[in-house]
Amino acid sequence: MDAVPVPGLVVEDGRLRLEGDWTTLTLASVADQALALSREGPWRLEASGVTRLDSNGARLLVKLGGDAMPAGLDARWQPLLTLVQEALREAPERPLPRRGWLENVGRRVLLSLEQLHHLLSTLGQLTLALLALAVAPHRLRWRETLGVVVASGALAVPIIALLAFLLGGVLAYQGGIQLRTFGANIFIVELVTLTLFREFGPLITAIIVAGRSGAAFTAELATMRGNREIDALLTLGMSPVERLLLPKWLGLVIAMPLLTVLANAAGLAGGMLVADILLNVDFDTFLQRVPQVVASQHFWVGIGKSVVFGMVVALVGCSEGMRARGDAESIGRNTTSSVVQSIFWVIVLDALFSILFNQLGW
């Protein structure tokens, strides 16, 4: 094969003489020199030595010579150069103005409304699937549901137990310092138990599950969308909600109360250890006082919260997964959004529950 003529630039008597192939494959050798010379232009161009030209080469010729047609340019390349010149004249001379703060706020509001709309739509689809399941329970995919219980529940035991244990210890330590000042060491039992049962037990469990299982739901569903697996289910006449979303939702609803019980027990263990060391409240005294001063309703309030939190985390995770386009950027963005939204809704619901239970006297 013959060697491709390398493009060249020669300055002669105030003119630029062009040579060789001015195509995308060869422009790298002359681009820097041409861009430097274009700052001194426009130049008069002598292009009789140009053997080939494409759109990128024509764009560089326009930067060098402006709208003037180079002298000696082969008639085959003149229409292409004219087309590029016209396209550049029609292009905007300055970049589009940047969006103002009000437009940015509006876009964020619309994005939030779109997320809420998709969340409510997913909730409606899950509700219809649950109603269909109540009529025909045999349609539930038990294997997938139990798999979610194991992945989101049993495999999360170590991290939840460790963090709840540390949280209980921190509560007992911080509260014990104040109680010891007033000689009210024994009240550390009420402080740790009530706080864990009603608030921190279900809350810390929900936050960990949101970052662990909710994000996994989103990434899994988003990847399936990218691989067209969900489209394949629809083509086969199968419901993605019934086969994919419902087992995840039910599995997490089952796992959350069990994990909350574990978090409560681990938190109490951490609190008892610190109370024994710091406040001289031994294990037996601590355990005997718990049923005496803490009503069972506080335990069940926390368990009820955990069920709702599990519903919300699974709902948000599935909703964001179904919203994703399936590419790598979208998977990362929607997974992050899933965790943030889950934690947001969990904290909002926890605040609403606190107000409601206070009004009911619970």
User: What are the extents of the domains in the chain?
Assistant: 8-90, 111-360
Cβ within 8 Å of residue 224, ≥6 positions away: 230, 244, 321, 326
Amino acid 312: pLDDT: 94
Amino acid 1: pLDDT: 45
* Banded pLDDT at 104 (limits 50, 70, 90): confident
- Rounded Cα gap, residues 130 and 124, in angstroms: 10
- Rounded Cα gap, residues 111 and 121, in angstroms: 15
In this predicted structure, the answer to whether residue 167 has a pLDDT above a threshold of 90 is: yes
Tens of pLDDT along 180-217? 888 888 888 888 999 999 889 999 999 999 998 999 99
Sign of the dihedral defined by the CA atoms of residues 58, 64, 65, 70, in that order: negative
**Lowest mean per-residue pLDDT among 29-38, 95-104, 202-211, 297-306:** 95-104
Amino acid 307: pLDDT: 94
* Banded pLDDT at 39 (limits 50, 70, 90): confident
Question: pLDDT over 70 for what percent of the chain?
Answer: 97
Beta strands in the chain, from DSSP E residues, in sequence order? 8-12, 15-22, 44-53
Task: Say which CATH class 8-90 falls into.
Answer: alpha beta
Mean pLDDT of the chain: 87
- Are 290 and 187 a contacting pair, CB within 8 Å? no
Tens of pLDDT along 142-152? 888 999 999 98
**Lowest mean per-residue pLDDT among 30-34, 125-129, 269-273:** 30-34
Amino acid 162: pLDDT: 95
**Mean pLDDT confidence for 231-239:** 85
Helix, strand, or coil (residue 159) = helix
Amino acid 93: pLDDT: 58
If you compute the radius of gyration of the chain from its CA atoms, what whole number of angstroms results? 34
- Rounded Cα gap, residues 324 and 218, in angstroms: 8
In this predicted structure, the answer to whether residue 92 has a pLDDT above a threshold of 80 is: no
* Banded pLDDT at 158 (limits 50, 70, 90): very high
Helix, strand, or coil (residue 92) = coil
In this predicted structure, the answer to whether residue 124 has a pLDDT above a threshold of 70 is: yes
Tens of pLDDT along 250-260? 999 999 999 99
